[in-house]
Chain A
Amino acid sequence: DAGITQSPRHKVTETGTPVTLRCHQTENHRYMYWYRQDPGHGLRLIHYSYGVKDTDKGEVSDGYSVSRSKTEDFLLTLESATSSQTSVYFCAISGGEETQYFGPGTRLLVL
């Protein structure tokens, strides 16, 4: 399995609080991605990174920000969590032409 970990694995928070999810890889892959998975929508790309300090928006980026200060870590921040951000969040990594490999996911519940 690709060396990807996500933390925390589960989180419950309240509306309006900031939340940061962490993705850590040991593969030294260039690309990293954050997705959210919701019933009926499959996986939707939130943000992705193509290198240290290089990030770009995906199709559902509103309300989310990301940072990548080093190759191995990609952080996803919800500045002020809303109930619509209750979801399962997946991180993925890719070395380039090859496919993406996924982490185990983080279940986030916003009350």
Chain B
Amino acid sequence: GEDVEQSLFLSVREGDSSVINCTYTDSSSTYLYWYKQEPGAGLQLLTYIFSNMDMKQDQRLTVLLNKKDKHLSLRIADTQTGDSAIYFCAVKVTGGGNKLTFGTGTQLKVEL
């Protein structure tokens, strides 16, 4: 089955850019997603990219997709303390059920 991997922690200073990385194994994945989870809350969809795109920008967020290396990244520009959260990469599984496979999540800590 699909395997999705992320690094566990990232620490940045306020105002810097953050880059969260994700690798996956299924080259036929069609949609790839980034979710944000704040403490004690559910997952909030941040953005997604379709597999025929290389990049997608949405305000401070930039998603880059390298299909050859099966690598997805999320860049957050001008990172703020409110961006501190866990970020999950998710990949749509081929086959029925509209199922997603999630990475283990990256804990982003923003320091003053």
Contacts and interface: CB of A to CB of B under 8 A. Distances in A.
Chain A contact surface mostly: strand
Contacts of A45: 99-100
B44 to A, nearest CB: 8
Given A42-B88, A42-B105, A43-B88, A104 B42 contact: yes
B96 interface: yes
Nearest to B101: A45
Interface of B: 1, 4, 31, 33, 35, 41-45, 48, 88, 96-100, 102-105
Contacts of A102: 35, 42-44
Contacts of B45: 99, 101
Given A31-B97, A43-B43, A56-B97, 14 more contacts: A31-B98, A40-B104, A43-B88, A43-B102, A45-B99, A45-B100, A48-B99, A50-B97, A90-B43, A94-B98, A96-B98, A100-B98, A100-B100, A102-B35
